[in-house]
């Protein structure tokens, strides 16, 4: 019996962790399988606060973004993840930064702000966070919400003063 079928049997018997571990090991062998990543993510709902669920979510979201899955689909899955974990998301800063970019560029303002503001509170300084900040600023600029961009611009200025995007964003006047 293949690993997916075995995992389904475990789920039917209520052995959720066993199913997630089996699918995790299988995913290591097939790290580009979006179907396998989706299945792990979906089964994660049975153990929402377990680290295995969060790991599956990280793998799934990163694979979706690598394969240019639509922003709407990624957002829908993120909302599902947020609901399942009751808002206790446990994704790494890199993944969150990339999701922030996707949500800001696709107009999912509330979740983009939620993610980006959360990373700002953590004093995140990873390189990919610049992209999320710039995407948020550009989104708000396009909406004409210039006052809302100030905290994001300040964060760029204070934490990434030498970055070329910081200079570009600060050179734009409103």
pLDDT one-digit tens code per residue, 69-106: 999 999 999 999 999 999 899 999 999 999 999 999 99
Question: pTM for this one?
Answer: 0.93
Predicted pLDDT at 1: 87
Predicted pLDDT at 172: 84
Q: Which two tokens stand for residue 167?
A: 């200079």
- Please write the tens of the pLDDT for every residue from 50-69: 999 999 999 999 999 999 99
- Please write the tens of the pLDDT for every residue from 2-19: 999 999 999 999 999 999
In contact, 74 and 64? CB cutoff 8 Å: yes
CA 132 to chain CA centroid, nearest Å: 11
pLDDT of residue 156 exceeding 70? yes
- Please write the tens of the pLDDT for every residue from 102-122: 999 999 999 999 999 999 999
Predicted pLDDT at 174: 55
How far CA 128 is from CA of 25, 64, 86, 137, 138, in Å, comes to 28, 17, 26, 15, 16
Predicted pLDDT at 173: 63
Measure the CA–CA gap between 91 and 89, rounded to whole angstroms: 6
In contact, 151 and 134? CB cutoff 8 Å: no
């Amino acid at each position: 019996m293949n690993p997916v079928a075995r995992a389904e049997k475990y789920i039917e018997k209520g052995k959720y962790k066993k199913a997630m571990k089996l699918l995790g090991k299988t995913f290591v062998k097939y790290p580009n399988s979006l179907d396998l990543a989706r299945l792990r993510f979906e089964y994660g709902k049975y153990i929402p606060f377990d680290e295995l669920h969060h790991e599956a979510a990280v793998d799934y979201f990163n694979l979706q973004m690598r394969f240019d899955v639509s922003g709407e689909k990624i957002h829908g899955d993120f909302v599902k993840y947020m609901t399942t974990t009751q808002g206790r998301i446990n994704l790494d800063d890199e993944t969150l930064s990339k999701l922030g970019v996707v949500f800001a560029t696709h107009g999912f303002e509330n979740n983009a702000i939620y993610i980006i503001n959360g990373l700002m509170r953590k004093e995140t300084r990873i390189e990919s966070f610049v992209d999320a900040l710039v995407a948020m600023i550009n989104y708000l600029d396009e909406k004409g919400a210039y006052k809302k961009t100030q905290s994001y611009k300040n964060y760029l200025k204070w934490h990434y003063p030498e970055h070329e995007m910081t200079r570009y964003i600060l050179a734009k006047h409103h």
